Every structure is written in C-alpha cells, then in structure tokens.
C-alpha cells in the first residue's frame, strides 16, 4: 500500500489549556519564545517578527488536532514546541502566530510485545528522555503482556535528557551511543501524527511504502496528492539535513527528522533492547589528535571489542578546561587530569560477566600496545558514579565555552559561539580534523574540538573575541560544510537544519533534490501552517 489516509479527529473538546494575548505571553510565557539556539522572538515594540497570539497546551492527539484547526480558522500559522533543547531555532515562533506546546502529552508508558516478539514502549510526545529512562529502570510503566525477564532500555541518548521524545523523533536525534545503536530512526515502530489540516494519521512501520517512488496523500476533500520520492544522495554518515527520501522507503521515515514541518508527532511506539548487564567506562589519555584518529581506527577494526561510544576531547579543549581552574563546572575531575594528558578518548564497552571482562581487558591491552599507548595512562570504572565523573569532564568543554562567550557578550552583545555539526565517513576522519585545525590556525581563531569521534562527528566550537572574528568564523563554517560534503559527509550530523542552518542545505543537495523536498512540503501542508520558516523559506 502506498496511500496515507488521515482520519478526522472526531469530537474535540475546546477545553484544553491555552494562553492568549501577546502581552500575557511575552510577560509570563517568554520561555516559549526561544530555545537553546541564540534565536528568540523580539518582545520590544516595533519588532518585525509575528506576534504570538496564543499558546496551546493540549493533552491528547484530538486536542492537538483541535488547536491546529482553530489556528487555521484564524488564518494563523503554528510553531511546535517540545523541550526547546534544540540548537537550530526550530522551536522559535518567528513566523508563526500560535504555538502548540506538547509537554502535557505524557500518558503512562506502556511496555508490551510487538507482533514480531520484540519489546516496545508506547509514549507521548511530551515524555522526556529522562522520564522514560526512569520509568523503565523502576518498573513505572504499564505491562499488559507482563514484565520482561531482563531490564530494558531505550538506547538513543541525546545530550539533553530533558529533550522530549516527540522532538527527538522530529529531529532524528542521536548521541554518543549512536555509534553502536544508531539514531532515533532505527527505533521508531509506529507514529500518531496530527496533519497540517488538523486530522490524525496513525502509521506503523511497513504499513505504507513508496511504491514506484510514489506515495499518495488523501486530502480532507477526498482528492489525492502525489508525493514523488526521488533517490536522494544520502551520505554514509550520521545525517539530519532535510527529508529522508528513497524509492521504496517506509512512509514512517518521511516524518522522522522532518522537524515538525510535515506533521506533529503526538505519540510513538519505540523499540526497546536489553540493557547491558555491565559496562566498562574508560578514558584513555593521548598526546594529540593524530593519536586519537589512530586509536579510533584500530578500535573500530576490532570485532572482539565493539564500543558503545567513543568520544573525543581535543588538545585545545583540554587546555581550556584546565585554564579555567575552579571556574570549570567539572573542577574536581579536571584537577585529577594527568599533567601530560594533552587529549582524551572516552569509551564505553558492554560485558556480561567477569570472564568476558577479562577477555575485554586482554583485547584492550593488545590494541593499545599496537598503537603505542599505555593502558595505565587512563581512567577506568564500572559504576554510574564513574561514568558521571567521566561525562562531567566531557561536558565541561561546552559548558566552559558557553561561560566564556557569556562574558564576552557583556562587552560585545552580538557575539556567539560558532558550533559546527558535520559528520564524515571513517576513512575521512583524519583529513577532516586536519582541515579544521589548519584553517582555524591560519585564521588565528580561538577554537576547541570535541565530540562523537567514533561516528566521524567531531564538533568545532569557535570562540570569537570580536565582531570581525564572528563573521570570519561563520564564513569558515561554510568552508567546513563544503569540505565535509566533498569527503562524503553531512552538513548536519545530529542537530538538524531548523532556521539557523538553512544556508547549508544547498551545499548538501542540488536544486532538483531541494525542489522535490519543497514539493512534498507543499503537498502535505499547502498553506505552510506547520513550523513556517523551518528547513525552507516558503
């Protein structure tokens, strides 16, 4: 079957909570006017952005549909608001008159067996990653098929635990464990969505596919819109830039990563997996980036030592957190760093029992010796306390960068960090990191490098000291994006495009591919009701 057929929402009460009036919203609900990006809706008089006239707080799919229909009757456009933890401005209502906040859509998670025998969990869009993790860990779900024999978990670990699952699906979120488990897309089994005309679409994986490169969308008047699905050139890396389009694709994948522009995710069924019985956490100290690349390549070539995560802290990042001393959020961990540790690689490896741990230790020792590293020059642990200490060291880098930028903004308000999000294939990792370092040093910019090195996804944070350096850093980002694509990579590994990064889509895709994406948006949302200004300027 290749036809999407949304259903009317039925009887919808108009009693969901909402706040109306620009003055009430900007004075009491200003958090809904910005996200973790630098974008925000101006509150001063004379601002050119649309004034937000209503914020809806629905609790069900029917209420979301009712809110969409009410906005359309008023001739208004809608921005979808989740946890607002994104870095690309997608949740900022710059071009919309109404906001639909999904935070109250959080029914008790339901864990059951799917038809193929796998464990799945049904959740609401407003449930946070932390809340789902807690519910699974402590048996706080409903279990109609009985509780599983072993602990289960949802393995996609986006950096912000307060991120809501609806937003994670809308952005195809990933994180450190994506190296082993893959991004959100791999774990979505079923979706309940609200369409741009205020109907409800329930869509299970395998239910609708693009037969002959075509999906039909049944409009409310009974006519059918044709969604032509091209064969987009997708990079063999982490990738969250634009729509996922492939001939024969599952229609579920059309909505995952579409950033709320094609439909509003209100409920989802996610696959679960058995929680590792034990994990070894290791931070191996290194003398620089070249040693890191060599170690990552050696590690990924060892089938007897599959890593769950491989995370990098570069030399400039290590030097920065050291230089901040007691001002560093992870001061205790930083104070324990070996004096000769110039860089670090954090790793997680799962194991079942002591015998397997002994085998892992032997493999680790052998691998480290092959690349000239000493296993004694590391931190290792097994407990949650150990991993939290190591993660605090990794997270101290962006936290320290943010604190430095905040102080510089007091002097030059328009300053902000320039944070990159490119990913490249394994074989291009060393070349991409060399390109970053060489161009940044040639430009004389202050920078740090860190992130998901196991996925070829290293973040560069540029710390401008003046407006001219900010402009230079943004120009350099364009160079980086072009080089990443040249090397077979993606301009957006995990953060998506949103509003801020639309300039990068033409680097990733040709005009014909972008036209195909716009045509799908036009077919599903002809009035640009949902998330206007996100992904495309339509």
Averages of pLDDT over runs of 10 residues in the chain (538 residues) are: 91 81 94 91 65 96 96 97 93 96 97 94 97 95 95 88 94 92 97 98 97 94 95 92 95 98 98 94 94 96 93 94 76 79 94 93 94 92 84 85 92 94 96 98 97 96 97 97 98 95 96 96 97 92
Total residues belonging to the chain = 538
Looking at the domain that runs over 110-274, which CATH code has it been given? 3.30.465.10
Q: What is the pLDDT of residues 370-407, one digit of tens each?
A: 999 998 999 999 888 888 888 888 888 888 898 899 99
Task: Tell me the whole-structure pTM to 2 decimals.
Answer: 0.94
What is the Cα–Cα distance from 474 to 489, expressed in whole angstroms?
Answer: 19
Contact predicate 78/31, CB 8 Å: no
**CA 318 to CA 345: how far, in whole Å?**
11
Q: Give the residue extent of every domain in the chain.
A: 6-104, 110-274, 278-486
User: Across-strand partners of 311?
Assistant: 346
Q: What is the pLDDT of residue 327?
A: 73
Given this model, what pLDDT does residue 15 score?
A: 80
The DSSP secondary-structure symbol of 285 reads E
Q: What is the DSSP string of 419-469?
A: E---B--GGGHHHHHHHHHHHHHHHT--EEEEEEGGGTEEEEEE--SSHHH
Q: Domain 278-486 belongs to what topology?
A: Vanillyl-alcohol Oxidase; Chain A, domain 3 (3.40.462)
Report residue 101: phi and psi, to 5°.
-95, 130
DSSP string of 172-208, one letter each residue: T---TTHHHH--GGGGEEEEEEE-TTS-EEEEETTTS
Please give the Cα distance from 331 to 343 (Å, whole number). 17
Q: With beta carbons less than 8 A apart as the criterion, state whether 170 and 84 touch.
A: no
CATH of 6-104, one of 3.10.580.10, 3.30.43.10, 1.20.1250.20, 2.60.40.1510: 3.30.43.10
In terms of Cα–Cα distance, which of 211, 205, 284, 283 is closest to 1? Answer: 211
């Amino acid at each position: 079957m290749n036809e999407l057929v949304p259903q009317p929402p039925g009887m919808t009460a108009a009693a969901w909570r909402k706040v109306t009036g620009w003055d009430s919203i900007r004075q009491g609900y200003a958090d809904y006017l910005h996200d973790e990006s630098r974008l925000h809706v101006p509150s001063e008089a004379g601002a050119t952005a649309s004034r937000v006239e209503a914020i809806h707080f629905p609790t069900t799919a029917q209420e979301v549909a009712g809110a969409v229909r009410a906005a359309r009757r008023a001739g208004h456009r809608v921005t979808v608001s989740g946890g607002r933890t994104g870095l690309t401005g997608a949740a900022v209502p710059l071009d919309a008159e109404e906001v639909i906040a999904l935070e109250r859509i959080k029914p008790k998670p339901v864990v059951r067996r799917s038809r193929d025998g796998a464990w799945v969990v049904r959740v609401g869009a407003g449930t946070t990653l932390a809340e789902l993790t807690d519910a699974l860990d402590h048996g706080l779900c409903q279990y109609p098929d009985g509780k599983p024999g072993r602990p289960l978990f949802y393995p996609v670990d986006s950096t912000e635990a307060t991120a809501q699952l609806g937003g994670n699906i809308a952005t195809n979120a990933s994180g450190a464990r994506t190296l082993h488990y893959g991004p959100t897309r791999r774990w979505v089994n079923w979706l309940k969505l609200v369409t741009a005309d205020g109907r409800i679409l329930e869509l299970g994986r395998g239910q609708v596919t693009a037969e002959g490169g075509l999906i039909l969308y049944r409009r409310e008047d009974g006519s059918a819109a044709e969604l032509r699905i091209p064969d987009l050139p997708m990079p063999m890396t982490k990738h969250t830039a634009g729509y996922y389009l492939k001939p024969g694709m599952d229609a579920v994948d059309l909505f995952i990563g579409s950033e709320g522009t094609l439909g509003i995710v209100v409920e989802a069924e996610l696959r679960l997996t058995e929680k590792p019985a034990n994990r070894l956490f290791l931070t191996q100290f290194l003398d620089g980036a070249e040693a890191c690349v060599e170690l990552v390549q050696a590690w990924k070539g060892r089938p007897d030592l599959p890593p769950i995560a491989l995370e990098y802290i570069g030399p400039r990042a290590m030097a920065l957190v050291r230089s901040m001393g007691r001002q560093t959020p992870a001061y205790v961990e930083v104070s324990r760093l070996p004096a000769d540790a110039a860089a670090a690689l954090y790793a997680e490896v799962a194991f079942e029992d002591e015998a397997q741990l002994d085998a892992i230790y032997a493999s680790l020792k052998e691998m480290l010796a092959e690349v000239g590293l000493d296993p004694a020059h590391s931190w290792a642990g097994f407990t949650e306390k150990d991993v939290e200490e190591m993660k605090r060291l990794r997270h101290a880098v962006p936290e320290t960068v943010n604190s430095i930028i905040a102080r510089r903004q007091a002097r030059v308000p328009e300053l902000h960090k320039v944070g990159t999000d490119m990913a490249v294939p394994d074989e291009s990792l060393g070349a991409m990191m060399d390109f970053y370092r060489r161009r940044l040093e040639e430009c004389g910019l202050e920078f740090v490098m860190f992130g998901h090195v196991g996925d070829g996804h290293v973040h560069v944070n540029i710390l401008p000291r003046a407006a001219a350096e900010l402009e230079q850093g943004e120009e350099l980002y364009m160079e980086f994006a072009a080089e990443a694509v040249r090397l077979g990579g993606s301009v957006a590994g995990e953060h998506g495009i949103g509003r801020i990064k639309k300039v990068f889509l033409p680097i990733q895709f040709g005009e014909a591919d972008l036209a195909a994406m716009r045509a799908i948006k036009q077919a599903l949302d002809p009035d640009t009701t949902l998330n206007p200004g996100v992904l495309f300027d339509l």
